[in-house]
Structure 1
Amino acid sequence: MSNVEVSCGVYIGDIFVECKLRSNLGKEHCIGRCITSSQNPIISILNTSNSPIVFQEGTVLARGEPCVMEQLQEDSENTVNLVQHRTDHVIEIESVQVDDSIGTKHRQSLLDLLNEFTDCFARSTSELGNTQMNIVLTDDKPVTYRPYKLSQMERSEVREIIDDLLQGEVIREFDSPYASPILLVKKKQGNTECA
């Protein structure tokens, strides 16, 4: 187990970090649940892989939330400190696409649930987790399709998306006889994603 000094942005105060287990191939590690100070933020990382792990500068290792100290009266004689974490990232109902047929009560229930588990949602590509996947094929012949034609602007968008995924370690460069075309999909919000 190693203690690692990290950066935490402009917030000043105590930070709650939830335990995370990461299973990126070759970078398997566990981040211990802790409360750390923004003045000297340190988190514990347990390397569970068989080799040393080096993280690129700027890699998101964990997401912390500001926490506040509160007194809790256990009984008339004993008082204990309870740390409650709160989030500054509150999900608003306007940012969630919900069918119009869903009533106000159910919308509020959904919003409460989303805000209770807001740390389960990635706010950027770099916060996505990784999953190891095995694909079982029926034969050894590689499946290869020619790429779709893209304009110069579309190629630039694809390059930005791929660079973002590479930097977030969601994908990695790899030579393979298998190939599938990339399809750009325009979302309602105006952004473009690869499919």
Structure 2
Amino acid sequence: MFDQNIEGAELFALPFGDIVPFFSVYTATLAAFVVVFILISAFDRPERQLNIVFGGDAYYAKEIKESDTRFSRFMAIACGCATLGAVVTGDVFNFTLFAVLVGITNIAIVASAGNRHVLNAAFQYGIVAMIATVPLFGSAAIILATTGTLSIWTLAGMGAVPLLAKALLILGVMGEGIAPLYIGKAEIIRAQGAPFVLMIHFSSLLLFLRVTEIVLVI
């Protein structure tokens, strides 16, 4: 397992039947970053926003109460926990479940803004995320049918996973982690709870990094 160049040294492995939870230097580094961002989401305070009137010198501050961002904070923490599960799991099926959960929490973070344009973006992303579950679970089904296992530890270095399954897994993660394409607009950055939007970008990045490792290892 740990003769794969991408993993680095073995830090922890716990044989538990077919599923072997493990930590390598790579996955432990990803997990550490996730924990840091979960703590940031838990203790960060809402930012003070300034609205500027173009064509003049007028500007005014918009005060955001912590109670207004309670739901955004909760979903950002939930998104961080789902991302943590995705980067530390040793099972392909569990990875797909956590990836879907990341997509669901991302939708909730976007939708919590309450702006009409932002809600429209959340709706579009929700459709993409729902469609992405098909290749995600399809990939897990193909891997199980062809190899008889979903354990990354067992599959590592075997070369038995079909290329189609790997392609579907990447496609599914692209669908779940495509949120930045829909929230990269002024409305969501200026909406209340803007600090928690960072978790959307971060979770998407970590999903891509973990699926890259999985595809290269299995």
Shorter-chain TM-score bucket reads: under 0.3
TM-score by structure 2 length? Answer: 0.21
Structure with a larger share of its residues in helix: 2
Which structure is larger by alpha-carbon Rg, 1 or 2?
1
Q: Which has the higher contact order (CA 8 A, sep 6+)?
A: 2
Structure with a larger share of its residues in strand: 1
TM-score by structure 1 length? Answer: 0.23
